Amino acid sequence: MPITTQEIERRMTHFETVCRDKGIKRTHQRIEIFREVAQAEDHPDAEQIFQRVQKRMPTVSLDTVYRTLWLLHELGLVITLHSGRERTHFDANLEKHHHFVCEHCGFTRDFHCSDLDRIRLPDVLKNFGKVKTAQVEARGLCKACLLKK
C-alpha cells in the first residue's frame, strides 16, 4: 500500500504550517528532504535520504541532511526508529500506527490496527513520567530473511 499523493501533499502542507508557526525557513533543501521522508514507506536512514535527495539536488550535502532530519524530529514532523545494529531510521507517518521490524536485516514497515490503538496503559507508568504516545513494536524476521535461514 503505497502512500497516496494526497497524503504526501497533506504532509507537505503540515510541514509548511509548522515552519510558518515556528519561524523556520522553508529552504529548497529542507523541502526536498522532508518530501523524501514524507513519500518513503521504507523508513530510510540519513544516508539513504541523502542519496535519494541528491538525485534531484546534486549539490545537497550530507550534513544538511542530518541537520534537517533532527530539526524535523524536534518539530515533531518525523519520528525515529531503530533496530539491532542498524542506524536511525526516519518516519513521517504521524497517524497512530505500529511497527513491524525484522531483527535480522532491519526491514521496517508501518501497520495500522484500531484494536491496538485503544491500548490502555497501566498506572505504574505515572512513576516514570508522562506518556505521550504508545505503539506496538512487532519484532521478528521478514520474508526475505526467513528464506535465507
Residues 39-58 within binding reach of DNA (CB under 7 A):
45-47, 57
Q: Which is nearer to a second copy, 55 or 130 (CB)?
A: 130
Q: Is 2 in the site for a second copy (CB under 8 A)?
A: no
Q: How far is CA 24 from CA 7, 34, 72, 77, in A?
A: 22, 13, 10, 13
56 is written with which cell numbers?
534531484
Q: Which of DNA, a second copy, none interacts with 129 (beta carbon under 5 to 8 A by kind)?
A: a second copy
Question: Which residue from 12, 18, 39, 64 is in contact with DNA, where contact means CB under 7 A?
Answer: 64
Q: Measured from the CB of residue 107, what is the shortest distance to DNA in angstroms?
A: 17
Of the candidates 43, 49, 83, 90, which one interacts with a second copy according to CB under 8 A? 83
Instruction: Please say which residue, 13 or 136, places its beta carbon nearer to a second copy.
Output: 136
Choose, by CB under 8 A, the member of 88, 92, 95, 117 that binds a second copy.
Answer: 88
List C-alpha distances in Å: 122 to 116, 127, 134. 15, 11, 12
**With 0-12 CB in 10 A as exposed, 13-18 as middle and 19+ as buried, what is 97?**
middle
User: Alpha-carbon distance 119 to 121, whole Å?
Assistant: 6
